[in-house]
Amino acid sequence: MKILILHNQLWSQYKSIVFEKINNFCIQNGDELLVLQTSICEKSRKSLMDFDINNFNYSYKFALLNNKYLESTNSFVTTFKWLKHIYQYKPEVVNLTGYSEPGTLFILMICRFLKIKTIITNESVYHKQSEIFDILYSIKKAYKVLIFYLTDYFFSYGLNSNDFLFRHKVDKVKILSFLNSFDSERLDRLSIINYNQYDKYFLFVGRISSEKNIEFLIQLAINLKNINSEIKIKIVGDGPEFDKFNSEISMKNLTNIQLIGSVKWDNLGEYYSKSLGLILPSYFEPWGMVANEAFFYNVPVICSKFCGCANDLVINDFNGIVLQDFSLSLPDIDLTFFINYYLNLRAQFISHIKSTNHIFEPNRLSSEQYLSFKKVV
What pLDDT is recorded for position 72?
82
Residue 6 is inside which H or E element, if any? Answer: strand 2-9
- pLDDT, mean of residues 235-246: 92
Q: Answer whether residue 232 shows pLDDT above 90.
A: yes
Q: Are residues 205 and 69 in the same domain?
A: no
On the 0-12 / 13-18 / 19+ scale of CB atoms within 10 A, 185 is exposed
Q: Which of 118, 92, 88, 103 has its CA nearest to residue 38?
A: 103
Q: Are residues 354 and 365 in the same domain?
A: no
**Judging by DSSP bridges, how do beta strands 153-156 and 32-39 pair with one another?**
unpaired
Q: Are residues 156 and 291 in the same domain?
A: no
pLDDT tens digits, one per residue of 135-152? 777 788 889 999 999 999
What pLDDT is recorded for position 330?
52
Give strand ranges (E) for 52-159.
Answer: 61-64, 93-96, 117-122, 153-156
Q: How many domains would you assign to the chain?
A: 2
What pLDDT is recorded for position 47?
56
Q: Are residues 205 and 110 in the same domain?
A: no
Q: Are residues 154 and 199 in the same domain?
A: no
Query: What is the residue range of 233's domain?
Result: 186-359
- pLDDT, mean of residues 58-71: 86
Q: Which of 164, 161, 285, 124 has its CA nearest to residue 213?
A: 285
Confidence of residue 275 (pLDDT cuts 50, 70, 90): very high
Q: Are residues 211 and 149 in the same domain?
A: no
Q: Are residues 232 and 291 in the same domain?
A: yes
The CATH number of the domain holding residue 224 is: 3.40.50.2000
Q: Are residues 174 and 25 in the same domain?
A: yes
- pLDDT, mean of residues 45-68: 73
How far is the C-alpha of 90 from the C-alpha of 32, rounded, in Å? 11
Residues 48 and 18: beta-carbon distance below 8 Å: no
Confidence of residue 345 (pLDDT cuts 50, 70, 90): very high
pLDDT tens digits, one per residue of 172-223? 899 987 666 565 666 655 455 555 555 789 999 999 998 899 998 998 898 8
Q: Are residues 366 and 355 in the same domain?
A: no
Q: Are residues 9 and 120 in the same domain?
A: yes
Q: Are residues 226 and 355 in the same domain?
A: yes
What percentage of the chain reaches a pLDDT higher than 70?
Answer: 84
pLDDT tens digits, one per residue of 70-111? 778 889 999 999 999 999 999 999 999 989 899 999 999 999
pLDDT tens digits, one per residue of 319-341? 999 988 655 445 456 667 778 88
pLDDT tens digits, one per residue of 112-143? 999 999 999 988 887 655 555 567 777 888 89
- On average, the pLDDT of the chain sits at 85
Q: Between the ranges 250-259, 283-292, 324-333, where is the mean pLDDT highest?
A: 250-259
- pLDDT, mean of residues 158-182: 82
What percentage of the chain reaches a pLDDT higher than 90?
Answer: 46
- pLDDT, mean of residues 244-248: 93
Q: Are residues 196 and 330 in the same domain?
A: yes
DSSP 226-272: HTT---EEEEE---TTHHHHHHHHHHTT-TTEEEEE---GGG-HHHH
What pLDDT is recorded for position 107?
96
